[in-house]
Structure 1
Amino acid sequence: MSSHHFVKEQQEPAVFILNADEIHFDQVSPLLEWVPTVLVAEQALDQVLSWGIKIDVILGSESFQKENIQLLEEQYPVRFLNSTPENALEEGLQYLLASKHYAAHLIGIPHLQALDLQDKIQLMDLTLLDGDWKYYPVKEGDFKKWFAKSTIHIHAKEGLPVEVINENGKLILPITYATFLEVPEGITEIKASGIFWIGEQIR
């Protein structure tokens, strides 16, 4: 038996797939290495089933559950959770908190929805995968990281002033709809008075 069977289930970040249209399996595969809890919303289910991975929770409407009752056997032990496409994110996060999961990768969520998660990121560690971009929140307003020479995306409430310090110097800019920033190789420090999200391209 491989060692990961001994990992306490909730210690691994859950993987919550809301939409798989622009997601490739090779983006998700590394997140599954330690057998996390996997939640899938009904609109992503066909795609995820084609990947052949084990699903723990399927979020869907009552009619969807009735039409797909065979999944309870095929994916045993799996459970259905009542939701609509509109509230699947909220229902899934509530389920994770209730089952004491305090970290999750949210797959296929538009990064614009990140700002709707402000109350949740005080309770959980969340990352978002939106197409080729991975986003993570900075809760304390001060962030320092080594980057390769690349473009990053800073996402926050419109107008929030952000201070950026790296070898290019010091820059203060207000956040706009799409604040993309070229960063040099090395340490970049970013400070703001509120929560902001950093997006990095992963492909």
Structure 2
Amino acid sequence: MSSHHFVKEQQEPAILILSTEGLMYEQFAPLLEWVPTVLVAQSVVDQVISWGIKIDVILAEMSYQQANYHLLEEQYPVKFVGVSQQDFLQEGLQYLIATKHGAVNIIGYPHQEVAQLADFMELMDMVIWDAPLRYFPIKYGHFKKWFPEGSQIQLHAPEGTFIEVKNPDGVELISIKHATMLELPEGSTEFHAKELFWIGEFV
């Protein structure tokens, strides 16, 4: 992964790793293919290094930075970005916006807390990885995708949100409840809603 040292154009979605719980390296390894900018929260630095991933930014509190100063040399050209009150998500996203990244994969973020991302949604595209699913937002109320036979997805939105689902099985109006799972037939499925919602797919 040391080819990682050339200048980046910020075109590839960045990777922000907050937790690795329940995830195997192979599941998100394809994201690394185009050498994205990689930000890592202090609690998972050792795990990420053990996977051979080259880290660009470590999000860390001052005490961690002082105790792990050696990482600046061992992982050169890594840098620390200071974090206070454990707010790794906010600091990571603000750093990416400031460095003009337009998209990010957030690894290890609980999908139940996507409402906290609202302020950032207009500024960048996001995909959330909450093992074992990957969630992507449908911002403009309509989405169409071809699914293979036996696909299972989760629809996530505030409880009581209505989403219309149209596919070869027919048309169904679904009222979102906690963990609304759907089995889909082979073919194109269309989704319509009046507000933002998220689709979770197994990875």
Superposition TM-score, scaled by structure 2 size: 0.93
Aligned residues between the structures: 200
The 1:4–1:40 alpha-carbon spacing in structure 2 relative to 1, beyond 3 Å, is closer
2:92 aligned counterpart, secondary structure: helix
Matched residue, 2:172 = 171
Q: CA deviation at 1:109?
A: 0.8
Identity %: 54
Unaligned runs of 5+ in 1: none
Output the CA distance in 2 between the equivalents of 1:90 and 1:196.
21
Matched residue, 1:141 = 141
The 1:101–1:165 alpha-carbon spacing in structure 2 relative to 1, beyond 3 Å, is same
Does the 8 Å CA contact 2:127/2:135 hold for their aligned counterparts? yes
Deviates most, 116-125 or 58-67: 116-125
Q: Which amino acid aligns with 1:105?
A: N
Matched residue, 1:162 = 163
Output the CA distance in 1 between the equivalents of 2:38 and 2:157.
28
Q: Which amino acid aligns with 2:195?
A: G
Does the 8 Å CA contact 2:4/2:54 hold for their aligned counterparts? no
Does the 8 Å CA contact 2:15/2:104 hold for their aligned counterparts? yes
Q: CA deviation at 1:115?
A: 2.4
Does the 8 Å CA contact 2:153/2:201 hold for their aligned counterparts? yes
Query: Where do residues 30-41 of structure 1 align in structure 2 (5 Å cutoff)?
Result: 30-41=30-41
Deviates most, 108-117 or 81-90: 81-90
Does the 8 Å CA contact 1:18/1:109 hold for their aligned counterparts? yes
Matched residue, 2:24 = 24
Output the CA distance in 1 between the equivalents of 2:16 and 2:5.
20
- CA deviation digits over 1:24-76, x for unaligned, max 9? 11112111111110000011111101111110000011001101000000011
Query: Where do residues 43-122 of structure 1 align in structure 2 (5 Å cutoff)?
Result: 43-84=43-84, 86-122=86-122
1:119 aligned counterpart, secondary structure: helix
- Off by >3 Å, runs of 4+ in structure 1: 3-8
Does the 8 Å CA contact 1:21/1:44 hold for their aligned counterparts? no
Unaligned runs of 5+ in 2: none
Does the 8 Å CA contact 1:105/1:127 hold for their aligned counterparts? yes
Output the CA distance in 1 between the equivalents of 2:192 and 2:7.
36
- CA deviation digits over 1:66-87, x for unaligned, max 9? 0100000001111111114731
Output the CA distance in 2 between the equivalents of 1:4 and 1:18.
21
